[in-house]
């Protein structure tokens, strides 16, 4: 979702802003713009479409002199993608310019109020109210103006603001939307995410909700809403910029799949070396809450945790959770899964659960993100930065995190004798090799992708863990290739959906769970009898599946609970090759954003 970059220093700001925005492209956007402060005047340049349009418009930034500025990539929420709706938005006086990520929920009320005060609106955005509100409250002091804005606006926001009256200041604040402050030498930065500024500094402040950052060239001071100074530790980024670059691969998604064996090893190794996670109390119930792919990990988690511990587990889509009046007690462990740690719905669900007394266990990839900070315990997935919009390596590490959670609970319950612990630990440590074996099969996967990339509609079917896996395989395929695809519990198909199967419909049957082989074979026969073409994903040695399928891709044998791990890599590669053959924009699929910071 929207990306923000701001700079104050001694170098020309515009090229630095463009460079930072480029690094935030992965978040998804449909327009871009910058506001540069120079010799007492703010110049705003913005345009619909790709960043390249803005780049050309301002000659790579050279056209705009000035050493202070703010930049933005917009993912439209209020108002269509257009030049006028693009950010930055300026006050009518031209004295103030602002960039915003989030949603101002009471913007209609504020708009009416400001119109009543004589302000004219030119865009359809919620953000424009902030520009006019800033102008309305401006009393010569940017900090005081910001406090007044915070008191009036409701919703979520990361804001960057400059004023022509203050050529030596850049001011920023956040609430429920990500924003970090970069600390340089004689220059300072704001950004929605670390890659945007990592080229310039590794030292950052992770500001909390409603903390205001006042940046000058020489330093950054943080304030609360009473304008008292807040002290904060400097967080040092320990990963390299190369981790957020393509490194010779054509797409981030492919590079990130290639990184899965290492990411899984990084996540599993330290926990196993320390003898699993410690739990002082055992929850009565577990509630897993997440969105999208992370939700699919939660479904795997339900099967695995219930199988290993017999603790009842429910799984919720975060956007539904808080509106269904969930039953939460202090003995409920709420497991929140998120790559970005900034997904608005997941944060809201976490807060709801916390309010009702639950203990929160976060499985998070981004260190210092909101979910990481607000959880009682965090298990970090060490996937490193994930840039492609469609998650791959983060999903794989989240899977291993739920395995670790399940085993840790089992051990804390006194149900994991040393020989069993060794068995599971050995199997977990094999996963990086099994994933590598999948990657080695990539030509074969590409071959099947080339056979089926013209499919109009695809059904993924599976039972048990294979159903959970089908959900992710299907999402991966549809989101990047735009082929309509659905996942069904294989036994459920005949309760309605089978009527959609006709000659040539592609069905992908997932069959990694040995105890269910015969059942899924029956389901394959059912769809074949109605004309479907079946590509199966099966565990090595399962000849029954081969006999009834039109093609089979095999995963190596492992403990059945861990089969989703190599199998998902296979499904990710299949989706990747299909999208590649269709010529899709794989890393930035249409309409999607990486970090969904609005409800």
Window 4 to 23, contacts with ligand F6R (CB under 6 A): none
487 belongs to the binding site for ligand F6R (CB under 6 A): no
390 interacts with ligand F6R by CB under 6 A: yes
By beta-carbon proximity to ligand F6R, the closer residue of 190 and 475 is 475
The interface region with ligand F6R, picked from 223-231, 285-293, 353-361, 491-499 by CB under 6 A, is 285-293
d(CA 536, CA 510): 6
Residues 6+ apart with CB under 8 A from 52: none
- Select 201 or 391, whichever has its Cβ closest to ligand F6R: 391
Of 163, 192, 339, 481, the one binding ligand F6R (CB under 6 A) is: 339
Q: Among all chains, which residue has been given the structure tokens 């399928």? A: 549
- The H or E element that residue 457 is part of is strand 457-462
Residue nearest to ligand F6R (CB): 292
Interacting stretch for ligand F6R, rule CB under 6 A, among 54-62, 174-182, 186-194, 340-348? 340-348
Binding of residue 291 to ligand F6R (CB under 6 A): yes
Q: Cβ(76)–Cβ(1) under 8 Å?
A: no
Query: Is 542 designated active site?
Result: no
Q: What's the alpha-carbon Rg for the chain, to the nearest Å? A: 25
Query: Closer CB to ligand F6R, residue 258 or residue 534?
Result: 258
Of 2, 291, 542, 584, catalytic:
2
Tokens of 461: 């079917």
Residue 293 found at the interface with ligand F6R (CB under 6 A): yes
Is 267 a binder of ligand F6R (CB under 6 A)?
no
Q: Determine the Cα–Cα distance for residues 428 and 247; give it in Å rounded to an integer.
A: 28
Told to check if 292 binds ligand F6R by CB under 6 A, we report: yes
Note whether 596 binds ligand F6R by CB under 6 A.
yes
- Shortest spacing between CB 177 and ligand F6R, in angstroms: 13
Count of beta carbons in the 10 Å neighbourhood of residue 350: 25
Q: Catalytic residue at 594? A: yes
- Listed ranges 117-125, 288-296, 309-317, 575-583: which one lies at the site for ligand F6R (CB under 6 A): 288-296
Question: How far apart, in whole angstroms, are the C-alpha atoms of residue 79 and residue 395?
Answer: 33
Which residue stretch of 119-127, 195-203, 339-347, 553-561 sits at the interface with ligand F6R (rule: CB under 6 A)? 339-347
294 binds ligand F6R (CB under 6 A): yes
CA distances to 48, 64, 301, 547 from 51, in Å: 9, 16, 39, 51
Is 6 or 178 the residue whose CB approaches ligand F6R more closely?
Answer: 178
- Closest approach, Cβ 294 to ligand F6R, in A, equals 4
Distance, in Å, from the CA atom of 79 to the CA atom of 125, rounded to the nearest integer, reads 6
Size of site (CB under 6 A) for ligand F6R: 15
Q: Which of 391, 397, 523, 549 binds ligand F6R (CB under 6 A)?
A: 391
Between 555 and 596, name the residue whose CB sits nearer to ligand F6R: 596
Residue 485 touching ligand F6R (CB under 6 A):
no
Query: Of 400, 291, 405, whose CA–CA distance to 339 is shortest?
Result: 291
Q: Could you tell me the smallest distance in angstroms from the CB atom of residue 252 to ligand F6R?
A: 12
Instruction: Candidates 45, 126, 193, 479: give the one binding ligand F6R (CB under 6 A).
Output: 479
Q: What is the 3-state secondary structure (H, E, C) of 472-533?
A: HHHHHHHHHHCCEEEEEEHHHHHHCHHHHCCCCCEEEEEECCHHHHHHHHHHHHHHHCCCCE
Q: What is the DSSP string of 165-215?
A: T-TT-EEEEEEBS--EEEE-SS-EEEESSGGGTTTT-SEEEEPPTT-EEEE
CB of 289 to ligand F6R, least distance (A): 10
Task: Choose the binding region for ligand F6R from 60-68, 270-278, 333-341, 414-422 (rule: CB under 6 A).
Answer: 333-341
Say if residue 88 is preceded by a cis peptide, omega within 30 of 0: yes
Neighbouring residues of 190: CB distance < 8 A, sequence distance ≥ 6: 4, 5, 6, 70, 160, 170, 172, 179, 180, 181, 182, 213, 215
Q: Report how far residue 483's alpha carbon sits from residue 481's, in angstroms, rounded to the nearest whole number.
A: 5
Query: What is the token pair recorded at 179?
Result: 């924003």
Name the segment binding ligand F6R (CB under 6 A); options: 175-183, 332-340, 402-410, 520-528. 332-340
188 near ligand F6R, rule: CB under 6 A:
no
Q: What is the rounded CA–CA span in Å between residue 558 and residue 120?
A: 65
Round to whole Å and give the CA distance between 588 and 595: 12
Site residues (CB under 6 A) for ligand F6R, limited to 501-560: none
Measured CA to CA, the distance from residue 447 to residue 577 in angstroms comes to 9
Could you say whether residue 340 binds ligand F6R (CB under 6 A)? yes
Give the number of residues written for the chain: 599
Nearest approach in angstroms of CB 381 to ligand F6R is 10
Please report how close the Cβ of residue 102 comes to ligand F6R at its closest, in angstroms.
16
Among 287, 343, 397, 536, binds ligand F6R (CB under 6 A): 343
The reply on whether position 346 binds ligand F6R by CB under 6 A is yes
- CB 58: neighbour CB atoms within 10 A? 21
Distance CA 450, CA 576 (A): 11
Q: Does residue 569 interact with ligand F6R by CB under 6 A? A: no
Q: Which residue out of 255, 393, 410, 594 is catalytically annotated?
A: 594
CB nearer to ligand F6R: pick between 9 and 473: 473
CB of 1 to ligand F6R, least distance (A): 10
Residues annotated as catalytic (active site), given as ranges: 2, 594
Q: Kindly list the residues in this chain that would bind ligand F6R in the complex (CB under 6 A).
A: 291-294, 338-340, 343, 346, 390-391, 475, 479, 595-596
């Amino acid at each position: 979702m929207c990306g923000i970059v701001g700079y104050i220093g001694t170098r020309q700001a515009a090229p630095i802003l463009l460079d930072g925005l480029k690094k935030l492209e992965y978040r998804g956007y449909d327009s871009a713009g910058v506001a540069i402060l120079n010799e007492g005047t703010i110049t705003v340049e913005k345009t619909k479409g790709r960043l390249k349009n803005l780049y050309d418009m301002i000659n790579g930034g050279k056209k705009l002199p000035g050493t202070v500025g703010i930049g933005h990539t917009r993912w439209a929420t209020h108002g269509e993608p257009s030049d006028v709706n693009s950010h930055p938005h300026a006050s009518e006086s031209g004295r103030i310019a602002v960039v915003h990520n989030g949603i101002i929920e009471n913007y209609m009320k504020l708009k009416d109020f400001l119109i009543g005060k004589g302000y004219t609106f030119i865009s359809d955005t919620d953000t424009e109210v902030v520009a006019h509100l800033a102008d309305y409250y401006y009393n010569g002091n940017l900090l005081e103006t910001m406090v007044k804005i915070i008191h009036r606006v409701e919703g979520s926001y990361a804001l960057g603001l400059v004023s022509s009256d203050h050529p030596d200041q850049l001011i920023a604040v956040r609430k429920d939307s990500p924003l970090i402050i970069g600390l340089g030498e004689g220059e300072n930065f704001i950004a929605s995410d670390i890659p945007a500024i990592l080229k310039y500094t590794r030292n950052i402040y992770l500001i909390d909700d409603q903390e205001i950052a006042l940046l000058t060239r020489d330093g950054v001071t943080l304030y609360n809403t009473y304008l008292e100074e807040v002290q904060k530790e400097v967080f040092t980024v320990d990963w390299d910029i190369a981790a957020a670059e393509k490194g010779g691969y054509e797409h981030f998604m492919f590079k990130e799949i290639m990184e899965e064996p290492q990411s899984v090893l990084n996540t599993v190794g330290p926990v196993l070396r320390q003898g699993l996670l410690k739990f002082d109390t055992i929850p009565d119930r577990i509630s897993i809450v997440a969105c999208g792919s992370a939700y699919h990990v939660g479904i795997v988690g339900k099967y695995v945790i219930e199988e290993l511990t017999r603790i009842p587990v429910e799984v919720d889509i975060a956007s539904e959770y808080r509106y269904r009046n969930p039953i939460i007690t202090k003995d409920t462990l709420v497991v929140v899964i998120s790559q970005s740690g900034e997904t608005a719905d997941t944060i809201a669900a976490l807060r709801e659960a916390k309010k009702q007394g639950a203990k929160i266990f976060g499985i998070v990839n981004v260190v210092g993100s909101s979910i990481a900070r607000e959880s009682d315990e965090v298990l970090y997935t060490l996937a490193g930065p994930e840039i492609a919009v469609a998650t791959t390596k983060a999903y794989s590490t989240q899977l291993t995190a739920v395995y670790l959670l399940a085993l840790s609970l089992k051990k804390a319950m006194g149900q994991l004798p040393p020989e069993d612990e060794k068995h599971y630990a050995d199997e977990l440590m094999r996963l990086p090799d099994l994933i590598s074996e999948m990657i080695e099969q990539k030509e074969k996967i590409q071959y099947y992708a080339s056979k089926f990339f013209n499919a109009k509609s695809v059904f993924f079917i599976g039972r048990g863990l294979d159903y959970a896996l089908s959900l992710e395989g299907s999402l991966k395929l549809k989101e990047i290739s735009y082929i309509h695809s659905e996942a069904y519990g294989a036994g459920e198909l005949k309760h309605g959906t089978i009527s959609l199967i006709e000659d040539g419909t592609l069905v992908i049957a997932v069959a990694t769970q040995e105890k269910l082989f015969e059942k899924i074979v029956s389901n394959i026969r059912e769809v074949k009898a109605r004309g479907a073409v079946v590509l199966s994903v099966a565990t090595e040695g399962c000849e029954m599946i081969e006999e009834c399928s039109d093609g089979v891709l095999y995963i190596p044998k492992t403990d059945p609970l861990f089969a989703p791990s190599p199998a998902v890599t296979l499904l990710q590669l299949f989706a990747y090759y299909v999208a590649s053959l269709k010529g899709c924009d794989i890393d930035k699929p249409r309409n999607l954003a990486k970090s969904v910071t609005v409800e």
